[in-house]
Amino acid sequence: MRFIPVATGYPWGKETIAIADLGVEDSVVAEGWLADNPIGDIMETYLERVVGEGVFGYYGRLFPVAVKFLEINGEMPVHVHPDDEVAEQRYDALGGKELWYITEAEDDARIYLGFCHDVTAKELYDRCLNGTVRELMNVIRPKKGDVLCIEPGLVHSAGGHMKAAVVKEASELPFSLSSDMDHDLESVAEHLAEAMDFIVYHAYGKPDGRTVSDDSRQEVADKLMESQEFDVGKLVLKDPIHSFSEEETGFILYIGIEGEASFQVSATDKDGKKSMEEYRLRKGEVMLVPAEVQDFFVVPTDRNTILLEVTAGKRNDIDEYIDPDTEPFLEGEDYEGLEDEEEGETGSGDTGTAGNGGQPEKGAGEIGGPAGRHNMKWN
């Protein structure tokens, strides 16, 4: 599935949403028999067939990843995103982890990321209201092909002339901390009041400063990032590749960075005749390969074809109320021989959980997840 892009202009440039399930602005399928259907309705109808059983078990009917393209021609507002815990508790939404892949950058391009030194809440508050917060921030001069993982709580912005593809959680919670452009002092003060307790005040690169570390930017094969929210890899296509799995592995998003690629999938019509269906992905577009499609080819149709490949991250949430060291049977209670059966199955009657080979049962954190949606506009 490819989706109809939705572009919005701002004083600092343009934001184009390629795919997002935000409740208010759901992306709409561009072509095929699902054309004109929003991603939210598709999730409601096809559930795990779109994202896979594991992803659906955690996120429910919410498609968990969004992709947008930024075209910056000015000063983007300084802003910050909450993490999953804060976002869920306060807004019934996902957090704001992002990965920026720089597709173009002129000499004046700059990214403001974190602070040059440790700051206090009062210092930050005063700087945000008097319009000098950027003087506190660490400045990065981006180049084409650079990758930045922007963690929740990390204050950031961008300026100059540049373009970027952004992979993020399916949430729109930008707390704006600068009074420039279309944000007045009153709205900045309101956003500050909500964001002060989850902002990272340490200098960028110090412990808890949440810099782009080796942990968040993987130097393994084509992996750009691995996290529990999403994984991102880079594909430089010179030859066709065949993606095949006998087991469902979840959805895949492909983002066109350079060139063009052809996605080819075998199909059978109502008369039993087999053929190959073809879908084209161009620069600046996004293709969703549902979990149900487990066998397809990706063929470069341009000499210089680069794609980003996005999949759901591995969630290892543990229910805090479950203690794996707790005895499975209470002393003195009559379990009608169940404890003897358990001892025979696990080899020990004093550890483990019944019927689970000595491992604790799955916690609620593995099957629950944010269900609601909250949206905050740039303006």
Does residue 134 come out as left (phi exceeding 0), alpha (psi in the -120 to 50 range) or beta?
alpha
Alpha-carbon distances, residue 23 vs 43, 239, 303 (angstroms)? 11, 39, 38
**Pairing mode of beta strands 295-300, 260-268:** antiparallel
Question: What local confidence, expressed as pLDDT, does residue 362 receive?
Answer: 32
CATH 3.40.50.510 fits 232-312, yes or no: no
CA separation for the pair 378, 23 (Å, rounded):
17
Question: What local confidence, expressed as pLDDT, does residue 181 receive?
Answer: 55
Query: 3-class SS at 185?
Result: helix
Question: What local confidence, expressed as pLDDT, does residue 219 receive?
Answer: 33
Question: What local confidence, expressed as pLDDT, does residue 326 receive?
Answer: 58
Question: What local confidence, expressed as pLDDT, does residue 178 receive?
Answer: 86
Tokens 């409601």 label which residue? 44
User: Partners of 57 in the beta sheet?
Assistant: none
Superfamily of domain 6-230: Jelly Rolls (2.60.120.10)
> In this structure, are residues 296 and 241 in contact, taking their beta carbons and an 8 Å threshold?
no
Question: What local confidence, expressed as pLDDT, does residue 316 receive?
Answer: 65
Tokens 């890899």 label which residue? 233
Tokens 């930008």 label which residue? 174
Q: Which two tokens stand for residue 224?
A: 């750009």
Q: Which two tokens stand for residue 239?
A: 């030859």
What is the Cα 143 distance to its own chain's centre? 23
Question: What local confidence, expressed as pLDDT, does residue 272 receive?
Answer: 81
What is the Cα 216 distance to its own chain's centre? 13
Intervals of the chain under pLDDT 70: 180-183, 206-221, 316-379
Question: What local confidence, expressed as pLDDT, does residue 360 receive?
Answer: 33
pTM across the whole model: 0.80
Domain ranges for the chain, please list them: 6-230, 232-312
Alpha-carbon distances, residue 63 vs 41, 48, 290, 330, 376 (angstroms)? 11, 10, 11, 43, 18
CA separation for the pair 306, 283 (Å, rounded):
9
148 phi, psi to nearest 5 deg: -130, 130
Question: What local confidence, expressed as pLDDT, does residue 295 receive?
Answer: 92
The torsion of the CA quartet 275, 281, 287, 291, rounded to 10 degrees, works out to 30
Q: Which two tokens stand for residue 354?
A: 């019944």
**Pairing mode of beta strands 241-244, 295-300:** antiparallel
Q: What's the first-to-final CA gap in the chain, in angstroms?
A: 30
CA separation for the pair 109, 215 (Å, rounded):
26
Q: Which amino acid is at 299?
A: V
Q: Which two tokens stand for residue 372?
A: 């609601």
DSSP string across 76-89: PPPEE---HHHHHH
* Chain segment 16-75, per-residue pLDDT in tens: 999 999 877 789 999 988 999 999 999 999 999 999 999 999 999 999 999 999 999 999
> In this structure, are residues 116 and 137 in contact, taking their beta carbons and an 8 Å threshold?
yes
Question: What local confidence, expressed as pLDDT, does residue 246 receive?
Answer: 77
Question: What local confidence, expressed as pLDDT, does residue 213 receive?
Answer: 38
Query: 3-class SS at 163?
Result: strand
Asked if the domains 6-230 and 232-312 are classified in one and the same CATH topology, the answer is yes
Of 233, 224, 219, 370, give the one whose Cα is nearest residue 311. 233
